[in-house]
Structure 1
Amino acid sequence: MQIAFIKCHGSGNDFPLIDARAMALSDAQWAQLARALADRNGPVGGDGILLLTKGNDRAAFGMRMLNPDGSEAETCLNGLRCTARLGFELLGVDRASVQLKTSLAEVARDPELAPGVVTIRTQVGPASLATGDVGLKIDAAELVDAPIPGFPSERRFTAVAMPNPHLVTFVDTVDEAELVALGDWCEAAPALIPGRANVSFVAMQDGGLFVRTYERGVGLTNSCGSAMAASTFAAGLTGRIGFGAAVTVFNRGGMVRASATAPQDGALVTIRGNASFVYDATIAFDPATGAIGAPLVHNRRFDEAQAWDALLESLK
């Protein structure tokens, strides 16, 4: 069968994006496709795949995100912006509720971050501090800026569910080797956190935050939208930024602008960031074997790539 997709990215977090509303693949087949399409050694590559799905009585459309290992994430906020843009274009709307795996998100078009950079605003939450929601098997009901008993690090973490699980620690400088070691430990599904978790090291930078994340099911990634949201919320909880104040969140892939509300005000996180389309293509996929062919690119969106590159250059 032929699969049409758009290669897209949000803040450097890149994905093949598929309009799956009329497609009848099983979960196992979608997982096969994710492993093939998102394979960095394959013909496309990505931090996972995004599926635009049918809406329901609460949402205009839905989104699924599958990681490169075939597992499904509760959410992906960089991917949500890209999926929302496609939904807007197909349905002719500028704002909507979106059904995620376990929650709803509000999305809307927003003024451009820079000329030619399509920008989408997302609001998600409430963020949860319950260690049970994060999947931590510890006695404490919440973990805010404290060591994790049994974790192979003495650093102080904040545990946040967005609703996917995040462990956030603030550092003076990001030690990638240390981050990868902790991420690998979590990825092995230890008894302490059997559902695994995203691990982020966060440093203060130019009055904002710099976030580096080991993403569950992905590994070390240039950008993770839900990690940037969790880090913004954790920065508010620990007094590093003010709740309600807009902050620039940097990552290896670029930047977004974010703000969070306090727990008593809903624990919501709003992110404004790009939803850039790179090219449109089709690819052959054999559901029986999981094999894919070479992609046929129909349209390269050079103007969007150039606009994003100009924004990155301005950040330097």
Structure 2
Amino acid sequence: MELRFTKMHGLGNDFVVVDDTDAAIDLTPDAVAWLCDRNFGIGADGLILVRPPHGSDAEFSWGFFNADGSVAEMCGNGIRCLAKYVVDRGMVPSDADTLRVETAGGVRRIALTRDAEGALEFATVDMGEPVLAPADVPTTLPGDRVVGVPLPTDLGEVHVTCVSMGNPHTVIWVDDVDTAPVETLGPLIENDPAFPNRTNVEFARAFDDGCIELRVWERGVGETLACGTGACATLVAAVLGERIAGRAATVQVPGGELAIRWSEEDGRVYLTGPAAEVFTGLVQVADEDG
């Protein structure tokens, strides 16, 4: 099967994006993993299929897959890439200032900011309300909310805060993000039995000026240059743990900056950031029978 694709990224968190508005593409997990492989495929942190909505009032839905071929519920950087993809290709009206995308985590509303030529410059995504009930994150850790709860690991005990932004996140506060044990502790926590669906893991440090430094170990991917849902979950954890004043922060990830706000009025989290197109191409994907 010949597949036309576009390589895109949000602050270095990169994706293979494919137009599936005819809902005709069915990729196996192995095919997704091959496409995302940086040595033998195109190379990406995930793959996005742009699809028609499934009965909602959204303009589009998507299929979102991690680099290992597993399905993910939500991705803040990925959904901005989808927005840029459809806006820049004229798949939405030229005067549209909002876009709705149906995801496994619910319909997400995106405010569009265009440049003088009409291309998407940046997007503000309504990421929804954070989920804090342990059973819904999900995690088996105790409490009505998991905020600063001890979690034993093979590398020692850590204190974690658990938040779902449509996908599970576990936030750990560290003294130095640069030296945090992301590649060793990250996979241990991702696969800990306390997280039935596995978890993304955030290593964060908050500063008095309202800035948060962040590195993320993504479930099914590994460390990435940016993670939109992870930045949102970390801001929520910072507010719950009283590590910042107010309910907004600039989150500094290795790939750049995201602006995150947890609204006191409606309880929803809003993420603002850019998206970029890198290149387009054609790739031959082997049929399942080889």
TM-score after normalising by structure 2 = 0.88
**Structure 1 residue matching 2:135: 3-state secondary structure:** helix
Equivalent position of 1:135 in the other structure? 138
| Aligned equivalent of 2:68 | 69
Moved more, 137-146 or 156-165: 137-146
Partner of 1:269: 269
Q: Is the 8 A contact 1:38 1:68 kept in 2?
A: yes
Cα distance in 1, alignment partners of residues 154 and 141 from structure 2: 10
Q: Work out the CA distance in 2 between the residues paired with 1:110 and 1:104.
A: 19
Q: 1:213 to 1:91 in 2, by over 3 A?
A: same
Contact 2:5 2:16 in 1 (8 A): yes
Residue 19 (structure 1) aligned with residue 22 (structure 2): no
Residue 38 of structure 2 aligns to which amino acid in structure 1?
A: R
Shift of 1:208: 0.8
Letter of the aligned partner of 1:118 in structure 2?
Answer: E
Residues 143 and 159 of structure 1 are in contact (CA less than 8 Å); yes or no, is this contact kept in structure 2? yes
Match status 1:196 vs 2:194: no
Deviation at 1:154, TM superposition (A): 2.7
Output the CA distance in 1 between the equivalents of 2:202 and 2:228: 11
User: Structure 1: which amino acid aligns with 2:196?
Assistant: P
Q: Residue in 2 aligned with 1:307?
A: none
Distance in 2 (CA, whole Å) between partners of 1:235 and 1:195 is: 23
1:243, 1:260 within 8 Å by CA — same for their partners in 2?
no
Residues 1-316 of structure 1 mapped to structure 2, 5 A cutoff = 1-26=1-26, 29-55=27-53, 56-88=55-87, 89-92=90-93, 93-110=96-113, 118-148=121-151, 153-174=156-177, 178-187=181-190, 189-204=191-206, 207-245=210-248, 247-262=249-264, 265-289=265-289
Query: What is the CA distance between 1:150 and its match in structure 2?
Result: 6.8
Deviations 1:257-315 (A, max 9, x none): 111124xx44311111111011121111123257xxxxxxxxxxxxxxxxxxxxxxxxx
Change (3 A) 1:252 1:150: closer
Task: Report if aligned partners of 2:104, 2:166 keep a CA contact under 8 Å in 1.
Answer: no
Aligned to 1:305: none
- Unaligned runs of 5+ residues in structure 2 are none
Over 3 Å counting, the alpha-carbon distance change for 1:110 and 1:236 in structure 2 is farther
Distance 1:150 1:84, change over 3 A: same
Q: Is the 8 A contact 1:61 1:87 kept in 2?
A: no
Unaligned runs of 5+ residues in structure 1 are 291-316
The amino acid of 2:269's aligned partner reads: V
- The structure richer in helix per residue is 1
Contact 2:180/2:203 (8 A) holds in 1 = no
**Residues 243 and 259 of structure 1 are in contact (CA less than 8 Å); yes or no, is this contact kept in structure 2?**
no
Structure 1 residue 3: Cα displacement: 0.9
CA contact (8 A) 1:4 1:281 kept: yes
RMSD, matched Cα: 2.2
Q: 1:145 touches 1:158 (CA, 8 Å); kept in 2? A: yes
| 3-state SS of paired residue (2:149) | coil
Matched residue of 2:159: which SS? Answer: coil
Kindly state the Cα deviation for residue 190 of structure 1 after the two structures are TM-superposed. Answer: 3.6
State the shift of 1:223 in Å.
1.1
**Deviation for aligned residue 1:153:** 4.1
Secondary structure of 1:156's partner?
Answer: strand
- Indicate conservation of the 8 Å contact 1:104/1:124, yes or no: no
Q: If the length of structure 1 is used for normalisation, what is the TM-score?
A: 0.82
Whichever residue aligns with residue 83 of structure 1, its letter is: L
Q: Residue 110 of structure 1 contacts residue 272 of structure 1 at CA under 8 Å; is this kept in 2?
A: no
Residue 161 of structure 1, CA deviation: 0.3
Aligned length: 281
Shift in Å at residue 244 of structure 1?
A: 4.2
